[in-house]
């Protein structure tokens, strides 16, 4: 595993201080509605991308299809939210940027959420969507991408689906047994995520089932034989160790961003690091999915509200 460290910029230090102050003054009551609103505000939609609802493998979701795209490749995006929050619609603004910059159409899966649909519902849905993309829809090369809980879900699939071309994990929640030291050592630094929120997610998703089941906690799955994987994580988040303990595979590249909070690449309106991380992710996707150089990063123009 290769670690690449990115320094904290002065602009992001100021942005992070303002972000902390805003959260301290206006704490957020975490609900499905408030979570979706936060995600949507962090990354507005952009022009040059078509958004369409569809079903892939029987799983509902949203396609983000850039005007300039490569045929025969696709991205499966698995959203975060602790397995009990999040929708494909809310994540369009972030995923459309990855699609536009990489030239790869992306399907955001609306996998079933807990507690209504406990483990392994999310895993089963993600697997069904991936297999339909690769086997039925003609995508010759598929990337599996996800953030937080979706990042852990993506890694579980990457360990079991040899046909996947590559994966990108943003602050992956890889250990539902909650054994990482950073859960405690980074608790005071993390302005977004808490151990109690993760414990709530475990209760709702797993109940009394084994938290070390590799389908829920890929940290305990195999580390060899996976396709190339790129990971992004901030140093100001309690899931730091979930990213740093992923194993020694020579095809895993971990980008560690100084001072950044949980799933920071989604916050394009706030952090320079988010925009820089997106460029790195897009280049990785192009290198592993698009063998030619005819698809370049599209200019990003936000849709006026």
Q: What are phi and psi of 242, to 5 degrees?
A: -65, -25
Q: Known catalytic residue: 237?
A: yes
End-to-end CA distance of the chain: 42
Paired tokens of 181: 């030291």
Q: Known catalytic residue: 161?
A: no
Paired tokens of 14: 């100021």
CA distance 291 to 305: 36
Query: How far from the centroid of its chain's Cα atoms is residue 279's Cα?
Result: 15
CA nearest neighbour of 160 among 105, 120, 210, 117: 120
- In the three-class reduction of DSSP (H, G, I as helix; E, B as strand; rest coil), residue 157 is classed as helix
* Active-site residue identified among 253, 255, 262, 267: 262
* Active-site residue identified among 237, 253, 255, 267: 237
Segment holding 180, helix H or strand E: none
Q: What is the dihedral of CA 129, 135, 140, 141, to 10 degrees?
A: 30
**Buried/exposed 2-17: b ≥16 CB within 10 Å, e otherwise:** eeeebebeeebeebbe
Query: How far from the centroid of its chain's Cα atoms is residue 2's Cα?
Result: 19
* Active-site residue identified among 42, 134, 148, 267: 148
CA distance 193 to 17: 16
Q: Are strands 106-109 and 59-66 parallel, antiparallel or unpaired?
A: antiparallel
Catalytic machinery residues? 148, 237, 262
């Amino acid at each position: 595993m290769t670690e690449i460290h990115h320094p904290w910029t002065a602009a992001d230090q100021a942005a992070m201080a303002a972000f902390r102050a805003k959260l301290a003054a206006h704490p957020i009551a975490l609900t499905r509605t408030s979570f979706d609103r936060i995600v949507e505000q962090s990354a507005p939609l952009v022009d040059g991308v078509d958004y369409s609802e569809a079903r892939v493998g029987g799983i509902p979701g949203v396609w983000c299809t850039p005007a300039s795209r490569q045929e025969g490749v696709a991205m499966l995006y698995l959203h975060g939210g602790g397995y009990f929050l999040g929708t494909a619609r809310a994540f369009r603004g972030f995923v459309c940027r990855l699609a536009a910059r990489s030239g790869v159409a992306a399907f955001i899966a609306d996998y079933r959420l807990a507690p209504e649909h406990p483990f392994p519902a999310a895993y089963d849905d993600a697997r069904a969507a991936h297999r339909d993309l690769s086997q039925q829809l003609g995508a010759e090369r598929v990337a599996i991408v996800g953030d937080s809980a979706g990042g852990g879900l993506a890694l579980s699939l990457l360990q079991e689906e040899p046909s996947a071309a590559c994966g990108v994990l943003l602050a992956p929640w890889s250990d539902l047994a909650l054994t990482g030291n950073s859960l405690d050592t980074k608790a005071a630094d993390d302005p977004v995520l808490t151990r109690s929120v993760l414990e709530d997610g475990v209760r709702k998703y797993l109940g009394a089932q084994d938290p070390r089941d590799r389908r829920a906690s890929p940290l305990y799955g195999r580390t060899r034989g996976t396709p190339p994987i790129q990971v992004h994580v901030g140093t100001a988040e309690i899931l730091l160790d979930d990213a740093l303990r992923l194993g020694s595979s020579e095809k895993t590249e971990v980008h560690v961003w100084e001072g950044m909070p949980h799933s920071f690449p989604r916050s394009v309106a706030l952090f320079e690091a988010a925009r820089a991380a997106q460029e790195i992710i897009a280049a990785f996707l192009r290198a592993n999915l698009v063998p030619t150089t005819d698809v370049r990063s599209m200019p990003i123009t936000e849709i006026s509200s």
